[in-house]
């Protein structure tokens, strides 16, 4: 069945460092791919999405490119801020539902 695998955290970075969080997927066909962010004590917020191969989703300095050949959707940001500290979830759209990875906690230190 369809699934999403994320790198395990926590990822600890200093402010202004470069961020990569790896995400790979297994799916039938070409599902839409998403990154969601969850701040402490809150629900999920959509960060960015891509709906077809080679699409690049971007928002708030974060980017991810839908790579069909490597079945990946890695999240990147050039310069992280303390306020980016949160848990990040990669997800795919499987018909009527979202399938999520297990999440990667990011901690950014001043």
Partner 1 sequence: ETGVTQSPTHLIKTRGQQVTLRCSSQSGHNTVSWYQQALGQGPQFIFQYYREEENGRGNFPPRFSGLQFPNYSSELNVNALELDDSALYLCASSLKKDEQFFGPGTRLTVL
| Interface positions with partner 1 (CB under 8 A) | 4, 36, 42-46, 49, 89, 91, 93, 95-103
Query: What's the residue count for the chain?
Result: 110
Helix, strand and coil content of the chain, in percent to the nearest 5, comes to 5, 55, 45
Minimum separation from the CB atom of position 103 to partner 1 (A): 5
17 vs 55, beta carbon nearer partner 1: 55
User: From CA 85, how far away is CA 29, in angstroms rounded?
Assistant: 33
24, 72 contact by CB (below 8 A): yes
Instruction: Work out how close the CB of 14 gets to partner 1 at its nearest, in angstroms, rounded to a whole number.
Output: 25
CB distance 10 to 103 below 8 Å: no
Smallest gap from Cβ 72 to partner 1, in A, equals 17
CB of 58 to partner 1, least distance (A): 16
Q: Which C-beta is closer to partner 1: that of 4 or that of 14?
A: 4
CB nearer partner 1, residue 96 or residue 110:
96
- On whether the CB atoms of residues 27 and 92 are closer than 8 A, the answer is yes
Residue with smaller CB distance to partner 1, 52 or 97 = 97
């Amino acid at each position: 069945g369809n699934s999403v695998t994320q790198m395990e955290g926590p990822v600890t970075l200093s402010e202004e460092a470069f961020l990569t969080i790896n995400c790979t997927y297994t799916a039938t066909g070409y599902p839409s791919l998403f990154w969601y962010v969850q701040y402490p004590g809150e629900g999920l917020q959509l960060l960015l999405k891509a709906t077809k191969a080679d699409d690049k989703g971007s928002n708030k300095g974060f980017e991810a490119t839908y790579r069909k050949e490597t079945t990946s959707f890695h999240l990147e940001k050039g310069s992280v801020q303390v306020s980016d500290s949160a848990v990040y979830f990669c997800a795919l759209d499987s018909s009527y539902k979202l399938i999520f990875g297990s999440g990667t906690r990011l901690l950014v230190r001043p």
